[in-house]
Amino acid sequence: MKKGQIPPPITPEQKIAILSPTGSLSPETLFQIESYYRLHFQDVWIGESCRRNRHLNASDDRFRAKELMKAFENPEIGAIIFARGGESSERLLPYLDALRIKKHRKIVLGYSDLCSILSYLVESCDQVVYHGLMASETPGSSTKQRSLLQHLFFQDRKKIALSLMIPIRLGETEGILKGGCLSVLHRLLKGDFAPSFQGSILFLEDIRESTESLSRMLRDFENLGQLKHLKGVLFGQMLYCGATLSDFMPLLERYFLKYDIPLGFSLPSGHGDNIIPIPLGAKVHLSIQNKGSQLTLLTVPIQTLPGRI
């Protein structure tokens, strides 16, 4: 399989699987999720993980990993949406089978603590996944968010406008887009499932981390050579991590602005407004301009279904 290959769109016969590697949801929330997706998109299958309390033991880890594997291998499922954030999703990684997952490209969507699984799917399984809105957030989502989800599920958009992003260094570049929630990826750094950023366009975001904490994490990545030869950098809104852009400028200067690469800040994906789904693992062309910054996907879906929108 080619790296950076966009997963196929959902077919009319397929369902959206809602899974929760990080814990249970209330019956009311599950009802709202199911109603939302069936109204606006597609039939839904709610995984047992959404109803089962999280226990940090090997038995529960294997159960949630097995459910995720079944969703990948089930041809009746066209997309996997993670239900909520939480903690310790990286505990599932030893129980996933990369060789089996590689055979089944699916739309996968989540962020926050689920970035450990998203990173695994990119690094170990050559999947393209989406950093964006989780299922528990969709009932209250905006028309703009719903529109972008629709384009994602039916794969009819090649260009992604990077609206509201602050351009820091202008330019254009191409590469594989990687990253996610920095503190979650940092937990993986020295283990068997560490991400590899070298030569990529790096997207980073986080919540409730001080700039000092973020700097320590970036220093660890830098010391391991992970920030060398980056093609470009995109930062999310960094919610509750600093009051203003000026708070982040020393961090940007220390780790990124010393290189002649495009850099954008406050992209609304992940913690914060969470409007734009980011295709991690995809090969993209990044253009950062004073007006009209955008990502262009350089690969197309495995199959196309005209006329869905």
Has residue 6 been placed in a domain?
no
Least confident stretch, 75-89, 109-123, 148-162? 148-162
Look at residue 155 in the predicted model and tell me its pLDDT. Answer: 83
Final residue in a domain of this structure, among 107, 136, 157: 157
For residue 110, CA distances in Å to 22, 53, 84, 276, 305 come to 12, 19, 8, 12, 24
Are 35 and 87 in the same domain? yes
CATH number, domain containing residue 195: 3.50.30.60
Pure H helices in 41-163: 58-73, 98-101, 115-125, 143-154
Has residue 304 been placed in a domain?
no
**pLDDT-based confidence at 35, cuts 50/70/90?**
very high
Looking at every residue in the chain, the average pLDDT score rounds to: 93
Around Cβ 118, how many Cβ atoms within 10 Å? 30
243 φ/ψ angles, rounded to the nearest 5 degrees: -80, -40
**pLDDT-based confidence at 190, cuts 50/70/90?**
confident
- How far is residue 114's CA from residue 97's CA, in Å, rounded to a whole number? 17
Are 122 and 211 in the same domain? no
Nearest to 20 by CA among 57, 60, 58, 59: 60
- How far is residue 190's CA from residue 53's CA, in Å, rounded to a whole number? 29
Query: What is the distance in angstroms between the CA of the first residue and the CA of the last residue of the chain?
Result: 28
Residue 211 CB-half CA count within 13 A = 15
- How far is residue 275's CA from residue 163's CA, in Å, rounded to a whole number? 9
Burial class (CB in 10 A: 0-12, 13-18, 19+), 185: buried
**pLDDT-based confidence at 164, cuts 50/70/90?**
confident
Domain count, the chain: 2
Taking the model in full, what pTM does it have?
0.94
- How far is residue 224's CA from residue 190's CA, in Å, rounded to a whole number? 9
Are 210 and 185 in the same domain? yes
Burial class (CB in 10 A: 0-12, 13-18, 19+), 284: buried
Are 115 and 203 in the same domain? no
Are 105 and 88 in the same domain? yes
**Number of residues in the chain:** 309
Look at residue 306 in the predicted model and tell me its pLDDT. Answer: 40
Are 99 and 166 in the same domain? no
pLDDT digits (tens, 9 = 90+) for 51-109: 999 999 999 999 999 999 999 999 999 999 999 999 899 999 999 999 999 999 999 99
**pLDDT-based confidence at 305, cuts 50/70/90?**
very low
% of residues, the chain, pLDDT over 70: 96
Final residue in a domain of this structure, among 157, 182, 209: 157
pLDDT digits (tens, 9 = 90+) for 276-289: 999 999 999 999 99
Nearest to 113 by CA among 131, 138, 87, 133: 87
CB environment 230-243: b (16+ within 10 A), e (fewer): bbbbbbbbbbebbe
- Supply the range of the domain harboring residue 184: 160-297
